[in-house]
Amino acid sequence: MRVKATLSFGLGLWMASGLAAAEGIRAEGAWARAMPPTADAGGGFVTLYNDTDAPVRLINAHNDRVDHMEIHTMTMEDGVMKMRRLPDGIEIPAQGKVELKPGGEHLMFIKPNPVLTVGETLKVELEFSTGERQAVSFEVKERPPMAAH
Ligand SMILES: [Cu+2]
């Protein structure tokens, strides 16, 4: 109980600090898929909006529960969907958005310890080509949240 309370307090501080913000970039609907206990990687999804007049790339992500994070896409190869790492990251067009979602581009939590469990909130720092980082809360769920209208 004590450990849990301390974690919540730490997260509250982190959210209140507002230290990490990338100018003109907004993140919405961030979530990560709950993992079976034996899995060694989990997917993270988020919609990123670029309100600036220049394209910005998402180039990396950071979380202290994982070995490291990767940026992936899914491609069809010989009729089989495969995950492929995107070494240059993902471009968010000027005044546009990019949607990281199941079956497409996504973040990968590599070897999280412990695995991602429903109900948790993970703090992830997204790193952009501008050199800025933005802290985003990823809620762990079994399946995609309902689309917002
Ligand atoms: Cu992946």
State the burial class of residue 71 (Cβ atoms within 10 Å of its Cβ: 0-12, 13-18, 19+).
buried
Residues around ion ligand 1, judged by CB within 5 A, are 72, 83, 108
**Which has the higher per-residue pLDDT, 58 or 13?**
58
Q: SS3 sequence, 90-129?
A: EEECCCEEEEECCCCCEEEEECCCCCCCCCCEEEEEEEEC
In a domain, 3, yes or no: no
Q: Indicate the range of 19-28, 51-60, 110-119 predicted with least confidence.
A: 19-28
- Write the pLDDT tens digit of every residue in 102-126: 999 999 999 999 999 999 999 999 9
Residue 110 Cα to ligand 1 middle (Å): 9
> CATH number of the domain that 135 lies in?
2.60.40.1890
In a domain, 149, yes or no: no
Is the pTM value of this prediction over 0.75? yes
Residue 9 Cα to ligand 1 middle (Å): 31
In a domain, 63, yes or no: yes
Q: Write out the residue range of the structural domain in which residue 80 sits.
A: 19-141
pLDDT for the residue numbered 20: 56
State the burial class of residue 74 (Cβ atoms within 10 Å of its Cβ: 0-12, 13-18, 19+).
middle
In a domain, 4, yes or no: no
